[in-house]
Structure 1
């Protein structure tokens, strides 16, 4: 799954992101309500996790804004506020579930899985497709021309991000920030190594390349020309 986490407490945000990424999920982190709202309105996610108390728009304001925009992505609200009226306010604003801090990661994981199992809407795809390349987001399966391709968790996250932006030049900085959550380090070759490995696996499933290097810029994933 691709999950948006909006949390201003660095320790909590890193704890959640680390646990989810270890399970193979793609995690986008936002440290403020403003950044979280921007991502929620402009990117596609399977689940959103937001703290209730945030700098900028708080979790309730974010909920109201995305629901007003017609976004039906399931939202789990984290809160240190235990009062019943606070929970009612969140549910009325469009929250799908509440989880009080402190919490065990196992409970968070279970709740997110339950939210993800809810019937998908047209706004939240369960499959990505570029040419003859298919990615089943629910079963976490990738095929090309009907042939299964086995990917490691990081390769799956990388391909997930690339398939959501077909035909676009994706820079190394973008990939490091979105897939690895690293700030750009010009000396690292982690991107090149993983892209090279992913390219080989995709080409083994089809006779034409899909990942192209744009010298001095980054990479493009695109369907082969017929």
Structure 2
């Protein structure tokens, strides 16, 4: 089971990671809200543990952004803010649970077990669509009306990321991390090549959809 721990106290973060790893979880960590959003959008996790008071982007804003993107991963707020309004606001933002600092690791583990065994929203995300263009993850196929094209593995990952973030400008770093991984040493020009490939696919299908270049930033999928 894979967990994302977003905590700005690096000592506490390292301590919790050791405990979570010891309990058998595959734990990834980051220390600010901006990175947390990138990580949570770029990979699949079974549970998110989010500190409320994060630099760059606070935990409430982070979780609300994830829920707007349709990411329904179970989330636990881990925070020193334990007033009634704090708890209510956290749950209303989309949290599944709320644990107040300081706490015993055993309690956190119990809460992780609880939120990950609850029946969640059953969503079939094997097929994604935008403006009539349909992407099948299993077949790595793009379909529009009666026409279809098959994608390579990298093309499919790139298309999936755009489909999950329609209308949003995705910076180059975010795209490279999602498609090639955070530790991969890929040349920047590779992304431009694959964008070119995808544009050719869209042109072949004659779809009312385009990928626009946002100069100095990245790319955006939008209605043509």
With the length of structure 2 as denominator, give the TM-score of the two structures.
Answer: 0.55
SS at match of 1:82: coil
The match for 1:78 is 78
SS at match of 1:98: strand
Question: Between Structure 1 and Structure 2, whose CA radius of gyration is higher?
Answer: 2
Alpha-carbon shift at residue 52 of structure 1 (Å): 0.2
Alpha-carbon shift at residue 122 of structure 1 (Å): 3.6
Alpha-carbon shift at residue 41 of structure 1 (Å): 1.4
SS at match of 2:110: helix
The match for 1:88 is 88
Whole-angstrom distance in 2 between the partners of 1:106 and 1:11? 18
The match for 1:20 is 20
* CA offsets 1:46-75 (integer angstroms, 9 cap, x no match): 000000000011110011000000111110
The match for 2:136 is none
Whole-angstrom distance in 1 between the partners of 2:46 and 2:125? 7
Whole-angstrom distance in 1 between the partners of 2:95 and 2:24? 25
Gaps of 5+ in 1: 126-167, 175-226
The 1:124/1:62 distance shift into structure 2, 3 A limit, reads: farther
Alpha-carbon shift at residue 124 of structure 1 (Å): 8.8
Runs of 4+ displaced beyond 4 Å? 168-171
* CA offsets 1:84-113 (integer angstroms, 9 cap, x no match): 111111111101100000000000000000
SS at match of 2:3: strand
- The total of aligned residue pairs comes to 132
CA-atom RMSD in angstroms: 2.3
Alpha-carbon shift at residue 16 of structure 1 (Å): 1.1
SS at match of 2:49: strand
The match for 1:45 is 45
SS at match of 1:4: strand
Gaps of 5+ in 2: 127-178, 185-224
Alpha-carbon shift at residue 118 of structure 1 (Å): 1.3
The 1:82/1:123 distance shift into structure 2, 3 A limit, reads: farther
The match for 1:34 is 34
